[in-house]
Amino acid sequence: MADTETDELEVDDVSEDAETHIEYDIATYPSDLTLSVIHEMWKNDEIIVPSFQRNFVWNIKQSSNLIESFLVGLPVPQVFFYISEKNKNLVIDGQQRIKSVIFFLEGYFGEENLQGRRQVFRLFGLDEKSPYYNKRFVDLTESDQRKLKSAVLRAVNIRQLAPNDQSTSMYHIFERLNTGGTPLKPQEIRNCVFHGSLVETLHTLNDNTDWRKIIDKRMLDKYQKDVELILRIFAMAERGQKYEKPMKEFLSKQMELHRSAGDPVTKEFVKNFVGVCTIITKKLPSRPFHIRGPLNLAALDSVFATLIKYHAKIPHDIGDRLGALVKNKKYQEAIFFNTSDASTVEVRLNLAKQILID
């Protein structure tokens, strides 16, 4: 293991190319929703905060200021919903505002603690002269309760119309609109957008002891680059021969295809990933994909994907074969230059199969 441990994975990805242009037919329309309607939609599971989105992070003063803004008629920033194929409203931007409203109307701030208790939501941090100072919702006059419930929060609704076979626009919309203090990274966005059991499956695989040895990283990466690497291997093993750039879109499509993680392809990948990790740690030298220092993503995706795809044919001299592969000049070019080009991906996958398996 490396001597210096940080919570970020060091990768050799300097040659990953910029994104290419993708066009979508998107319908965007506003809705002026009263807070009472938002509360009702929330109770009916019509508003969804995707799993693995960052948790509620506002403190009670921030939430109190928002509630006071509604009560005194100050403008409040709009929220963004992505309308799913099941007509659910997935929150792209505005989780803190929406949950603050729900918490106040229900009387408790934040989620339950370990003891099953919740903090009573009193408007905190306001000017003591404010008529709303330290008030719960039930402490407001009936007039102010009606005023708050009838206050309007504008929602911008986004629905993808085309292409019909590729509903990954939400990723790009989320990427541009998420406005937290620390913008989400690519895999964090995928976890939000393509929420489903595949997210949990990838995180489980990321805890595999052999996998942590292979990438030479004890700590989980705080931006989930290590999780993204497993997704990349999965995509290359299944669809590498059909790869099209950009890489971000290729990986997002993989998340979309297998988001439920219950299909045979995903189950087979999980089994073979664990088995290949064991073989690599037993038969290959340590840090086999740290070709020139940092972890080389192109070497990792091509070798891992090949061994997973042809797991029943892995030869006993796999260590010697890997050495020959890494010394191959065409392979070196394919893992160091223009690594996200389709032609380059094809070259490195073909060479990996020829030298490691055939």
* Predicted confidence (pLDDT) per residue in 221-239, tens digit: 888 899 999 999 999 999 9
pLDDT at 2: 45
Strands 79-83 and 47-48: unpaired
pLDDT at 193 over 90: no
Phi, psi of 153 (to 5 degrees): -115, 120
Structure token pair of residue 327 = 């010394």
When pLDDT is cut at 50, 70 and 90, the band that residue 13 belongs to is low
* Confidence (pLDDT) at 159: 83
Element (DSSP H or E) covering residue 92? strand 89-93
Would the pLDDT of 195 be above 50?
Answer: yes
Most confident of 163-167, 217-221, 287-291: 287-291
Q: Cα–Cα distance between 83 and 20 in angstroms, integer?
A: 25
Residue 1 has pLDDT above 50, yes or no: no
Alpha-carbon distance of 296 to 336, in angstroms, equals: 8
266 pLDDT more than 60: yes
- Which residues are bridge partners to 127 per DSSP? none
pLDDT category, 305, cuts 50, 70, 90? very high
Q: What whole-number distance in Å separates Cα of residue 335 and Cα of residue 326? A: 9
% of the chain with per-residue pLDDT over 90: 66
Q: Which amino acid makes up residue 303?
A: V
Its pTM stands at 0.70
Q: What is the mean pLDDT of residues 268-288?
A: 96
In this model, does residue 111 exceed pLDDT 90? Answer: no
Q: What is the pLDDT of residues 332-354, one digit of tens each?
A: 999 999 999 999 999 999 999 99
How large is the average pLDDT for residues 253-273? 93
For the chain, percent helix, then strand, then coil, each to nearest 5?
A: 50, 10, 40
- Count helices and strands (H / E) in the chain: 15, 9
Q: Which of 39-43, 50-54, 96-100 has the lowest mean pLDDT?
A: 50-54
**Residue 148 pLDDT more than 90?**
yes
Categorize the per-residue pLDDT at 275 as very low, low, confident or very high, splitting at 50, 70 and 90. very high
Predicted local distance difference test score (pLDDT) of residue 8: 76
pLDDT above 60 (res 16)? no
Q: How far apart are CA 92 and CA 80, in angstroms?
A: 5
pLDDT reported for residue 337: 93
Nearest to 119 by CA among 71, 63, 67: 63
Burial 132-169 (b: 16+ CB within 10 A, else e): beebebeebeeeebebbbebebebbebbbeeeeeebbb
Q: What is the largest distance, in Å, between two alpha-carbon atoms of the chain?
A: 80
* Sign of CA pseudo-dihedral 90, 94, 100, 102: negative
Average pLDDT on 256-283 reads: 95
Percentage of residues in the chain with pLDDT exceeding 70? 88
Q: What is the pLDDT of residue 190?
A: 84
List CB contacts of 271: < 8 A, sequence separation 6 or more: none
Whole-number Å distance between alpha carbons of 170 and 4: 37
Distances 357 to 236, 268, 310, 336 between C-alpha atoms, Å: 16, 19, 7, 22
